[in-house]
């Protein structure tokens, strides 16, 4: 089985976990209590939550 390109084994070797938490803050706080570094993203629906507009913006942003 080809495991080339599977980056999870690299993740498993990380000495300190740095996590980006998008949404519920309690999940980030629980990680911090265990010693992880957490970057909180204060997520809100973009384009006022217009799904179609969000898809268009996403395409334009090339991300």
Partner 1 sequence: MKLFVEVHPGDYRDSIQLLFASGAMSEMEGVQKASIAMGTGASKTMFRLMGMNDPAIEQAGPSDLVIAVIAADEEVFRKAVAKGFAEMDSIAPADDGKPVYATIQEAVAARPDARVCVLSIPGEFVKAEAVHALNQGLHVVIFSSHVSPEDELEIKLKAKEKGLLCMGPDCGVVNLNGTAFLLGSITRRGPFGLCGATGVGIQHVGALLQAAGSGVSQILGTGGGDLKLPVGGITMLMGIDALEADPETQSILLVSRKPADEVLQSILSRISQCRKPVVACLMGCERAMVESSGAVYAENLDDVAVQALRLIGKTLPLQSDEELRALAAEAAQGMSPKQKYVRGLFTGGTYCDEAMRALAPLIGDVHSNCPLKPELLLKDSLHSEFHTCLDCGEDEFTLGKPHPTMEPSIRKPFVLAEGRDEETAVLLLDFIFAVAGAVDPVGAVIDEIRDAMRTARLRGGRLAVVASVCGTDADFQNLDEQKRKLRDAGVYVCDTNYRAALLAGEIIRRRNGGENA
* Interacting residues toward partner 1 by CB under 8 A: 1, 3, 5-9, 11-12, 14, 17-31, 33-37, 39-45, 48-51, 54-55, 58, 63
Minimum CB–partner distance for residue 14 and partner 1 (Å): 6
- Report, in Å, the least distance between residue 62 CB and partner 1: 9
Tokens of 11: 């993740």
Min separation Cβ 2 and partner 1, Å: 8
User: Which bin fits 21, alpha (ψ -120 to 50), beta or left (φ > 0)?
Assistant: beta
First to last CA, the chain: 31
């Amino acid at each position: 089985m080809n495991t080339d390109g599977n980056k999870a084994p690299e993740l498993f070797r990380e000495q300190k976990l740095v996590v980006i938490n998008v949404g519920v803050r309690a999940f980030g706080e629980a990680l911090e209590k265990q010693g992880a570094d957490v970057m909180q993203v204060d997520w809100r629906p973009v384009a006022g939550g217009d799904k179609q507009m969000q898809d268009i913006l996403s395409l334009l942003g090339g991300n």
